[in-house]
Structure 1
């Protein structure tokens, strides 16, 4: 049986098992046990990011260029789009099931474990794919498995961390994600082709295992499984009325636009360096830009999270970071040269570092109900997955029709500004 939290403790402030210290807002977070748990959580987040983004950045583009040399842009757009479409549906569904799961290790851990194991198998098989259809099918399987795990991981934060500490925690999570993405580029550069997929799978297994062992040892519970699990209530739970929860809707739309802006800027990075800037070794170019971006994120992500906690403000950070990212994309559109791209990679890192930490904290404060956090976080994660469907469909005709990369990056800038405007409409969070 799951060890549930005590009835007299607020669900929004705790997430540990019976008989353990509860991290309420008065007691705070970041005790020794909390720090150990956060370390294992960040390792798991980083490993999952490596497995998800390693193929997207280098491995899939190179694999599809080999399998479909005459239509590499279209093939990549198709594969990424169907994979993102799958993840868009899996995220809220897996989150909803994790809300209702009862197990000895708590409701989230079975989904993290199962998703990770299936993702490992999918990555290994993906490296061995021999045509575009096989790549698409296996990438969909990897996306489904790892997004099921990602959805349960996302729900652990509102489960366990009190509101006033979520900015700092989200900062560490954001740093972990960017480290995972940068390490994915490094793995894909050092281990090309099939060995790159094997390396990403191995990294995923190594970094997720400590969280699985720690949570099983601590027997953490995150509240009772959600009641009312009949099919009708299950399906109805996916609709979150914007009239009742307007701030959730604004946060969802803003996240959609800001992530779409980011996806438009990043989807064809390898091809942009190779075909537009004529970089001799585009893979190393992607690695260098990733390193510059990572350095900028390291400077901003954790500090921004702590600052938002200290000031008790979220929106101003998210709006400012969106505008920084918009300015960087606009500069690439106006002057697409290698020095400008490197400088803008740094600016994008500063903006994304601030955004990824504070926005994560913000969205956890607009969730509709404490007993459906997995489902609600999964629904919010659609706003991260849907841009991966939209961006290739939007970007491919712009690039191949002759309008070129300047128009693509200009559009990215406009979309980021639109997202910043929507963030400002959120009323319940300062």
Structure 2
């Protein structure tokens, strides 16, 4: 099915569902997991948070492409994406409730892995809905809305985590929001319906082979993957210990409130650049130059964190990072939809590309924990973040099929 005109009500329902998914992820990631780690192991909180984040991201890395591939083959009368949005959202709520009840690091790990497993189903399905429904010429703008919704989700998740008044209250507030967020998209029922007859016969070997997309056969896809991986790795390294950075390096009296303030400032500038960047990229028909300059700006923000460990420095870095990451988010998704090998496997292939989002979450704790504890502390951490992100921005010019 060729993507046609996009109705405003579909955009609204889509964005609300994306917001809910990111509330479920970033309420815990920004505030709640770090606070639980501090409660369960005050002396080893960095290591506990690193293990929890690593295992959850490992689950995410596998879950996203698998859910995407299964949604490509779903023949439900409700469509091939909606069942995964609804089911994954319900599972994510259960995971958040497990985290709320956790009384040990083991239960914390189980709950976070369940959240990652479940919420990757709606994320995979919603990511594929853009190339399903939106023409190529409008995908920069659609990517802007996608980035906008993600940003609102990060802010809302952080706000709900703080407003909950406690770790348990924060998780319950996030869980309720996630549950309600899928309802408009479900009720709209605008989705592609496919039949069993239109699908090739099931073959486990072919299914598994489909997750390997040869860099030699599809070099533009491979370079797009590597670019996204490096930019997200730089970002993940920078953000993993933000709460601890404010508490231990900057000396902020209320680090929870500090994270919320920085998130709001970051989000305001991101919202500006995400909409301007996407529509501007559509008008020019160019993507790569936006990715380059976005990466440069993001690296500059990390260097500010490395060399100016004060509250004012953190504020400046948040504002700069928002501009950079907003421009990158809107243009990146549009670029990626233009390097997909086959339309019928969009969700699977986007899931493979989304490994470049989740794998950095696995590697960031492995890289960040020893740096913070033994190899120079936060200045070294943020310089590393800047260099990794800059390398990803430069490599975008290896992609030949997109301007």
1:336 aligns with 2:309: yes
Determine if contact 1:160/1:222 at 8 Å carries over to the other structure. no
TM-score, normalised on structure 2?
0.97
Task: Report the aligned-residue RMSD.
Answer: 1.1
Tell whether 2:176 aligns with 1:202. Answer: yes
Match of 1:6 in 2: none
1:221 aligns to what? 192
Is contact 1:100–1:229 with CA below 8 Å preserved after alignment?
no
2:111 is equivalent to residue 138 of structure 1 = yes
In 2, Cα distance between equivalents of 1:229 and 1:195: 45
Q: How much does 1:335 deviate?
A: 2.0
The partner residue of 2:339 within 366, 371, 378 is 366
Deviation at 1:229, TM superposition (A): 2.7
Residues 288 and 378 (structure 1 numbering): CA distance in 2 closer, same or farther, change over 3 Å?
same
CA separation of 1:370 and 1:223: change in aligned 2, threshold 3 A: farther
Match of 1:149 among 113, 122, 141: 122
Aligned pairs for 1:353-392 (under 5 A) are: 353-392=326-365
- Paired residues of 1:100 and 1:227 also in contact (CA < 8 A): no
> 1:226–1:371: 8 Å Cα contact kept in structure 2?
no
User: For 1:388, what is the secondary structure of its paired residue?
Assistant: helix
Cα deviation, residue 422, structure 1: 1.3
Equivalent of residue 307 in structure 1, options 274, 280, 295: 280
Q: Which 5+ residue runs of structure 1 have no aligned equivalent?
A: 1-10, 15-22, 24-28
Q: For the residues of structure 2 that align with 1:403 and 1:229, how far apart are their CA atoms?
A: 52
Shift of 1:228: 4.0
What is the alpha-carbon distance in structure 2 between the residues aligned to residue 36 and residue 226 of structure 1? 30
Q: Which residue of 1 aligns with 2:69?
A: 96
For the structure 1 residues 343 and 222, does the alpha-carbon distance in structure 2 shift closer, same or farther, using more than 3 Å as the test?
Answer: farther
- Residues matched between the structures, number: 400
The structural deviation recorded for 1:153 is: 1.1
Q: Is the 8 A contact 2:76 2:193 kept in 1?
A: no
Partner of 1:65: 38
- Structure (1/2) with the larger helix percentage: 2
Partner of 1:19: none
CA contact (8 A) 1:94 1:148 kept: yes
Give the CA deviation at 1:125.
1.4
CA displacement 1:164-195 (0-9 Å, x = unmatched): 10000110110110111011111111112111
- How many angstroms apart in 2 are the aligned matches of 1:130 and 1:199? 19
What TM-score comes out, normalization by structure 1 length?
0.91
